Amino acid sequence: RLELRCERDGAGGAELRLDAHPTLTVSRAALLPPPGGPGDAAGQTLPVESRPFASYGSALHIALPQAPRAGQLLTLLIDYEAGEGPGVCWLSPEQTAGKQKPYMYTQGQAVLNRSFFPCFDTPSVKFTYSATVKVPEGFTAVMSATSWEKQKDNTFVFKMSQPIPSYLIALVVGDIVSADVGPRSRVWAEPCLIEAAKKEYDGVIEEFLVVGEKLFGPYVWGRYDILFMPPSFPFGGMENPCLTFVTPCLLAGDRSLVDVIIHEISHSWFGNLVTNATWGEFWLNEGFTMYAQRRISTEVYGLPYTCLEAATGRALLRQHMDATGEDHPLNKLRVVIEPGRCVNPDDTYNETPYEKGYCFVSYLAHLVGNQSKFDAFLQAYVNRFKFQSITADDTLGFFLEYFPELKEKGVDSIPGFEFDRWLNTPGWPPYLPDLSPGQQLMRPAEELAELWAADSLNMEAIEAVDIMGWRTYQLVYFLDQVLQKSPLPEGNVKRLSKMYPKISKAQNAELRLRWCQIVLKNNLEAEYSKVKDFLHSQGKQKYTLPLYRAMWGGSEATRALAMETFSATAPQLHVNVQNYVKKILGLAAAE
């Protein structure tokens, strides 16, 4: 049921157009009488037709009895059936952690929720919603909603009282349970994971929320719960309001990856509260969120560690731009997405909106030249645009209005750093924030990698370095250096493995990924089983594809390992990830 208000006279004629999908079948559309007014409760049946729109969806044309007037309220009822589309994921029991029961979840970002329900599937429109979900015995439903209530007959009722864009509506049904980890937070997971989830996250979420509120203003969503998805979930996290979805890879067993959740928490202000009006300006969501994440991280973990994490981000941006070519049109902050044409908004996902966007926000902070003044600006920005969808022009216009002295200086048109150039010219960011405070953590990692790459190992110098106190990103940085220097001289990797069980036997997914890459690059056959185990344990795209690329680019033995592992794990992977792997292994033309 859609409750609509006409914004202006004659805007759409006597027709309503909604986003939908060929997999969604509509059996009836009707106009309901005004609440409490006269008329048939079943409503007046309306002609409805589905027409082609784009590769990612169709348009639902609904004929209204007459053109609505400005301010008029319409209530529309649409009977439909959905479930086969790309936004609804059905997992067989073997794709879950418990392996006993099936599971379903929806993933709306960017333009997939039109296959879940007919709507205005654009981030420029925000609305509240409610839902009633009936599920079979032995299953629980959860949604991205501010309130949830279980009624009789295994029926769950949800309400989202704050306006959100369509892509943030999400539903999960599975064998899931919850445990409290803070005054306004609980973790949700399959029963076999709940203890690990509680142990890893007890008390930490509240600390991040409090710092976020101090920096960016009140947290408006009530609860902040985390749902640990089945291992086949292909993403790191999805910031559905009140209920962030995350990969179970974050359960490292030693709290070493909890800072990943800071990114999703930061979306509570940037993305969910202030939202990009179009997917062509996705950096407004992600660039600001990266900046916010690193502000919170600086408060909690200090500047050196945050700079080290940002350096890994910059390296990913460099890899991405080298792979695509700097002048690729997607390497702009403002990407042109032609409505109804071949460019799919989902294709705008890459490192550019995140890391180049972060550089632009950092450049704005650099222009202000005072961190607490810029923090105050961010708080004013959130307050000014909360619950709205905006463009980069709104953001930059507000920045210049907030700092009139900068506007007077013409900071938007400094040669080489023009705002227009940031937005519309592809390539490497014109300004890079100073990450040198991270050097105190990078230098020891670089020196240690040098020692391990030597022809004859200086064990005295190596043993003098104690890596037990190093946090995740320092170890990741060390392993990235070792990987760059690989293959190492004969026997070195074997000794490294023995010397640092903290690395070679790690449960932490970021460390496991890099260790597997090192094992493959150095043909350390004795540890090929670790590569297989890691790929059996999870299906996150960011970990799975690089390992298949490394195996396929290696020896006969690693190619055989790739084929054997894929044939065993394919059924537990997300269909998109299956297709990407098939493409790498030359098994099929990917879609």
Same domain, 313 and 345: yes
Indicate whether 199 pLDDT > 80.
Answer: yes
Same domain, 460 and 379: no
Same domain, 450 and 410: no
Label the pairing between strands 225-228 and 185-189: parallel
Confidence grade of residue 589 (pLDDT, cut at 50, 70, 90):
low
Residue 350, pLDDT score: 87
Q: Is the bond leading into 570 cis (omega within 30 degrees of zero)? A: no
Q: Among 185-199, 222-236, 250-264, where is mean pLDDT lowest?
A: 250-264
Same domain, 395 and 536: no
Q: Can you give the pLDDT at residue 47?
A: 98
Strand order in the sheet with 155-165: 126-134, 155-165, 147-151
In this predicted model, what pLDDT tens digit does every residue of 98-156 receive, in sequence order?
999 999 999 999 899 999 999 999 999 999 999 999 999 999 999 999 999 999 999 99
**Same domain? 467 vs 389:** no
Name the residue range of residue 391's domain. Answer: 274-434
Whether 232 is covered by a domain: the verdict is: no
Residue 35: pLDDT over 80: no
pLDDT at position 58 is: 97
Average pLDDT over residues 422-448: 97
Distance CA 18, CA 119 (A): 5
The annotated binding site for a peptide is made up of 107-109, 234-239, 540-542
**Residue 144 in domain:** no
Task: With respect to residue 590, please indicate whether it lies within any of the assigned structural domains.
Answer: no
Does 461 lie in the same domain as 358? no
Residues in binding site for Zn(2+): 263, 267, 286
Q: 333-380: per-residue pLDDT in tens?
A: 999 887 555 478 877 788 999 999 999 999 999 999 999 999 999 999
Residues 514 and 539 in one domain: yes
Is residue 389 assigned to a domain? yes
296: CATH: 1.10.390.10
C-alpha–C-alpha distance, residues 448 and 580, integer Å: 35
Instruction: Return the structure tokens found at 387.
Output: 């619950």
Please check whether residue 129 lies inside any domain of the structure: no
List strand residue ranges (DSSP E) for 152-214, in order.
155-165, 171-174, 177-182, 185-189
The answer to whether residue 423 scores a pLDDT higher than 60 is yes
- Could you tell me which residue, 306 or 95, shows the higher pLDDT? 306
Average pLDDT, the chain: 94
Clarify whether residues 580 and 517 are in a common domain. yes
- Span 549-563, average pLDDT: 95
Residue 322 to residue 300: CA distance in whole angstroms:
33
- List residues with catalytic annotation: 264, 354
In a domain? residue 320: yes
427 with 278, same domain: the answer is yes
Given pLDDT bands bounded at 50, 70 and 90, which one contains residue 325? Answer: very high
The domain spanning residue 467 has which CATH number? Answer: 1.25.40.320
> Which of these three, 388, 418, 434, is where a domain ends?
434
Q: What is the mean pLDDT of residues 177-197?
A: 98
Contact 191, 177 (CB under 8 A): yes
Q: What's the mean pLDDT in 61-74?
A: 94
Q: In which region does residue 237 sit, left (phi positive, over 0), alpha (psi from -120 to 50) or beta (all else)?
A: beta
The answer to whether residue 165 is domain-embedded is no
Mind listing the pLDDT tens digit for each residue in 243-283?
999 999 999 888 888 878 999 999 999 999 999 999 999 99
For the annotated binding site, the residues are: 107-109, 234-239, 263, 267, 286, 540-542
Residue after which a domain boundary falls, among 44, 64, 81: 81
pLDDT grade for 562, boundaries at 50, 70 and 90: very high
Average pLDDT over residues 505-524: 95
Question: Pick the residue with more confidence: 322 or 286?
Answer: 286
What is the number of structural domains in the chain?
Answer: 3
User: pTM for this one?
Assistant: 0.93
Q: What is the pLDDT of residue 337?
A: 80
Which residues 6+ apart lie within 8 Å of 547 measured at CB?
513, 516, 517, 520, 531, 534, 535
On whether residue 360 sits in a domain, the answer given is yes
Strand segments (E) across 211-312 = 225-228, 237-238, 243-246, 274-276
Boundary-marking domain end, from 412, 434, 456: 434
492 shares a domain with 472? yes
Cα 448–Cα 453–Cα 458 angle in degrees, nearest 5: 65
Asked whether residue 408 falls in the same domain as residue 498, the answer is no
pLDDT category at 238 given cuts 50, 70, 90 is: very high
Statement to judge: residues 441 and 426 lie in one domain: no
DSSP string covering 292-313: HHHHHHHHHH-HHHHHHHHHHH
Q: What percent of the chain has pLDDT over 70?
A: 98
CATH number at residue 68: 2.60.40.1730
